[in-house]
Structure formats: structure tokens, C-alpha cells
Amino acid sequence: MGETDSSSSSIWQEIEQSESYLVCSMYEEAATLASSIVRQLKGSNISDNNEAFDENELFDMLESAGMVFVQALNQLGRTSAILNELKVLFVSATAIPVQVLLTGACFQISGASSAGVREFLEEFLSSWSLVDGQHYVLVGAEVDVDVQDGCDRRCILEVDKYMEVVEVYAVTLLGTTLKDMDNAISWVEKSALPEERRQVLLRRLHSLYSLKTINSSQVSAVMHENNHKAHYSLSKELNGFEGSPKGLEANYLPPGENNTKQTILKLSRRVDPCLWWFRSVNLKFGNVRVVVTNGKILLGFLFLLTYYVLRRKGATLNGLVRRQVSAAKKAMVDLWQLAFSYQVNPLAAVQPLPTATRGGR
């Protein structure tokens, strides 16, 4: 028992090491170690001794190593070959843990590498049969689904897990990516699915189909209306120019000239100056390209003009305030000097009167 625990602990350490490689962006090392762990777990030394690992623990190890392997391949740019490499690594599609299979399929679909995903998922889904409305059993396997403890998770699949694969296949791949809504609905109707789950999927697919139809009809109607308006506007402009002298000149072009083409060119030359404000200015600084519309230039000019006027008014107002403060300060200084500039002689009261004043008496 101690040897089994030691072996299990060492494998979990290797899985943690592969996860560390993945976190450190050492994707090649992570993929190599993860694939080595999967081969070791599926090797003869473990297959011959079913008691070496607990069934659930073995499945968890395979799932963890498989997730590292899938993510490493995606980061290495080998997204288009994920499912094929998983099938080679796990020997068959049904031996791949569902979570690993779903992750690899989603990586391929999102990476615009959906080629081969349809066939792979169809092979996987067709390898299971519904037995009691709650479990799928691998075709050809003889297992008792009523025995939950110690059941072989490689031969029994829960409905929820199976329906996750069905949703990716029918809704994500066929309905959304490949736009093959008819085949998606037909497959769901014919497949062995729980009736309640089947109705939910059909409602989703019909909703997507209705939305797609409505969007297509709206786009067609808008394009038709725009074409009609453009044709009507062009015809109206051409009719307006036919009565002008230059329009009359276009009716007498030399033989072989396209009158309508010449008239349209003249019309575009006349209308061209009127659309000056709707053009844009392209500026290129090295590898950087900037597109500036004339409307933005006008707004920038108005902003600068407003800022300049406010700046001038502010300067004028500041000068007026400074002058007022200076005048008030000068007035206070003058008043202060006037109040204290008059000198009083303290001996004037005791000084004798002048001689001429006494003689007059």
C-alpha cells in the first residue's frame, strides 16, 4: 500500500511540474512531460495491475495531464492538430476524458481550425448508447450502471457530460460556425437523447435559425432599399443636368464615347467641392498612420479661437483690475501724506509777538 501511495504521489508531482512549465511559458517541456505522464498511466504496468490506483484517481490524473497537454499544444501553435494528437495519445477518442476533449474541440473551433472536428465529434458521440435516461454506456461494453461505487468511468458517461459534447457539436460547430442549421436540427431529432434535453436543444437551434433568417432578410431589404435610393438619386441628378448647357454638350460627344459615363464624371466634379468638409486628411509618421477629418480640424480651430478670445479678455480684465488697485493704492498714499505732512510748531504759543505789532499798540 505504501508503494502505491508513493507511486501516486510521484505522478502527481510530475503533473504539478508540467503545470509549472505551462505557467512559466515553457510549452514544449509541458507538452512533453504531460504526454509522458499519460503514456505512463496507460502503460502495461498499470493496466495489468488494476489495484495499483483507485479508478477515480487514475481518471483524475489522466484528465489533469490531458488538460496540460491541450493547453501547451494551443500555445505552441499546433491548434489544428490537437484532436488528432489526443486520439493518438489516448489510443481512441472514447478514452479521452470529456473535459479534455471539449477543451481541445473548442480550441480548434475558435482557432478557425474546424476541419476534422465534425468527424471526430461524430465518432465520439456515436460510440455511446443511452441505457436508463441518466447514463450512456460505451457500445460493446458490459457494465452494470446500477452499481455506482467503483464503476468504470471509461465505460460509463453521465448524461450531463454527454450533452456538453452534443451542445458543442450541434450548436457551436454545426449551427454557429458551419452555419449548417438544417443538419444540426436533423441530427438532434434523430439521435438518442433524453426527450427533455432534446426539446431544449431544438428550441435553441430553431431560435438561432429564426434569428439568422430575420437578419438575412433585413440585410437584403436594406441593401435593396439603398440601391433603389442611390439609383433614384443618380437619375434625378442626371435629369437635372440634362437641361443645362454643359449637360447638352454631353449629348453631342464624339462617336464611341459613353454619354452616361461622361455625365456622371461631370456630376462628380461639380459635387466634389461641396463634399470637402466630409473628407479626411491622412498623416503618416513612420509606421503610424493617423486619419484626421476636416470636421475635427474645424472643431480644433474653434476651440483654439475660443481659448484665444478668453485669454485676451482675461488679460484685459487683469490689466483693468491692476489699474484700479494701483489707483486706490496711490489715493491712500496721497491721503496719508496729506494728513501727516502739516508740521505744528510747539513753541508758537510762548514766543513774543513781533516788534511792529507792539509799536502799533
State the first-to-last Cα distance of the chain, in angstroms, to the nearest integer.
151
Q: What is the pLDDT of residues 116-128, one digit of tens each?
A: 899 999 999 999 9
CA 170 – CA 162 distance, rounded (Å): 12
Burial of 86 (0-12, 13-18, 19+ CB in 10 A): buried
CA 69 – CA 19 distance, rounded (Å): 9
Q: What angle do CA 50, 120, 152 make, to 5 degrees?
A: 20
CA 261 – CA 246 distance, rounded (Å): 14
CA 170 – CA 280 distance, rounded (Å): 46
CA 128 – CA 144 distance, rounded (Å): 15
Domain ranges of the chain: 217-251+260-278, 279-323
* Averages of pLDDT over each 10 residues, the chain, 361 residues: 67 95 95 95 57 77 96 94 94 93 93 84 94 86 58 80 94 90 92 93 87 56 56 55 46 49 55 49 61 70 81 78 84 79 53 52 42
